[in-house]
Amino acid sequence: MNHILGLSAGFHDAAVAVLNSNGNIVFAGHSERYSKIKNDPGISPDMLHELCDYDIDIVAFYERPWMHNLQQWRSGQRCYGPWTEHTAIRSYLGSWYKVPARQEVCFSHHLSHAAAGFQTSSFDEAAVVVIDAIGEMDTISIYHARYDDQGRAKYKRVWRQGYPHSIGLFYSAITKAVGLKPMEEEYITMGMAAYGTDLGAAWMKHKFVDDVETVRFKKNLHIGFDEYELSFSHNEDIAAAAQRLTEEMIMSVMRRARRLVKSDNLVYMGGVALNCVANSRLGQIYDKIWIMPNPGDAGSSLGAAALAYGERINWRDAFLGHDIPGVYPVADILDHLIAHRIVGVASGRAEFGPRALGNRSLLADPRGADIKNRVNEIKRRQKFRPFAPVILEECVNDYFEMPQNFPASRYMQIVARVRDPNSFPAITHADSTARVQTVPRDGSGIRQLLEQWYLLTGCPMLLNTSLNIRGEPMVNDRADADRFEQQYGVKVCS
Ligand SMILES: [Fe+2]
């Protein structure tokens, strides 16, 4: 066997992942970074150029196209895609797919989510919880996953919930109701929640939820709320109530998983697993938790490839995309930071997943009162949104109160209370928390930069936000970085 190509496309945020015969991830990337169309559902030909050196034996699609079409029909969206894995793979790969792979396969939507999590985890067995908006006809799945004596991954689904009862659709409907873009800006709704009061959560539950335990809603929220249905004075209060109710439902699902699967290990996947405020509570139920850093549908390209491979795959880090070669420019970045300048970095392989983790980042000194406004001037985003800190992992407890059973946070998946918010206002949210990224002693570029910064200043952390031109996806290649420099007058080091 040479290589397996995993493919996720056709709905939103298309992506590919390539595994070699040793179970190593040789490439994983998002189409949007190449086409410059945010959440691009199609596969960019420019991304496929990256794959020219690989002999592809198997192409694995992340869902069953006929089941997706069935769901579209059932929900009244009469926009059907290809019906078979063959037509789907052909249509998304286009003329690049001149030499067909020996095998074309597809897997169920939620199983692809589950495999992307379990087979990248260090666990030998685990409860796997998948929560998203809709995947084929599923909205929540709980699996018991394990490896058999031959090292083959085995999945047994022990519970499911189906359309239209969906935590993800509820949160998207709330996102639309507060004036944001559903299926894209849910993370802004989550940030907005810190500015409101959640006193309306009980009313919201009574009005829309039939049963929290089984996550059953009283109405189908796929098309959103009626115009005057949410009688709140402020959008922030809607967001806060919805966040509280969402957390209650997620925790109910997790308690169910704990009862049904006798395991201390949790793998959590699906788009709802991007809600880092809710994630911070998972340690109340589970001792060991793994959320693959790309838990949404894009990450399922890796899940489909993992299912075709069948065994544990080697997860090292999330730097799996386009490569900007060269040594990480530590000295150049430090020169700018010491001079109190905001500086970009575009170096090494791009992040697979929605978070900039140091290879496509805008960096700044997190100390001082004015830095948030200065970075916001460049990013031109809502003023209420704080920026994230990236910190040497061994120093994290000196600056943050980490949530239970999360000693580290290498992929910005949880929030932690800031011990001294007044000293770090730029990275502190309205509720005194921060979405912290910890960096272990892994020899990465961002690790070397933080070590040098700490030596020079005594501060082990930097402000880290994604490097992107407003309205565009994250910077991918050097040409994007050059455009960023011209547009904002901010140096991007490579
Ligand atoms: Fe999904």
Give the mean pLDDT of the chain. 94
Q: Quote the ligand 1 centre to 71 CA distance (angstroms).
A: 13
Q: Exposure of 128 by Cβ count < 10 A (0-12 exposed, 13-18 middle, 19+ buried)?
A: buried
Q: What is the pLDDT of residues 435-446, one digit of tens each?
A: 999 999 999 999
User: What would the two tokens of residue 433 be?
Assistant: 């928390």
Q: 389: left (phi > 0), else alpha (psi -120 to 50), else beta?
A: beta
Cα distances (Å, whole numbers) of residue 75 to 134, 151, 289: 11, 39, 34
Q: Quote the ligand 1 centre to 238 CA distance (angstroms).
A: 25
Predicted pLDDT at 64: 92
Residue 69: Cβ within 10 Å count: 18
Q: Quote the ligand 1 centre to 353 CA distance (angstroms).
A: 14
Q: Quote the ligand 1 centre to 112 CA distance (angstroms).
A: 9
Q: Taken in order 97, 102, 106, 107, is the CA torsion positive or negative? A: negative
User: What would the two tokens of residue 435 be?
Assistant: 């979405």
Residues whose beta carbons lie less than 5 angstroms from ion ligand 1: 132, 135, 297
19 close to 25: Cβ distance less than 8 angstroms: yes
Predicted pLDDT at 469: 87
Predicted pLDDT at 99: 63
Q: Exposure of 4 by Cβ count < 10 A (0-12 exposed, 13-18 middle, 19+ buried)?
A: buried
Q: How far apart are CA 355 and CA 116, in angstroms?
A: 17
> CB within 8 A of 396, min separation 6: which ones?
402, 408, 409, 416, 436, 438
Q: Quote the ligand 1 centre to 270 CA distance (angstroms).
A: 5
Q: Quote the ligand 1 centre to 339 CA distance (angstroms).
A: 44
Predicted pLDDT at 334: 98
pLDDT under 70: residue ranges of the chain: 1, 78-79, 99-100, 384
Q: Quote the ligand 1 centre to 39 CA distance (angstroms).
A: 14
Predicted pLDDT at 96: 81
Q: Is the pTM of this model over 0.85?
A: yes
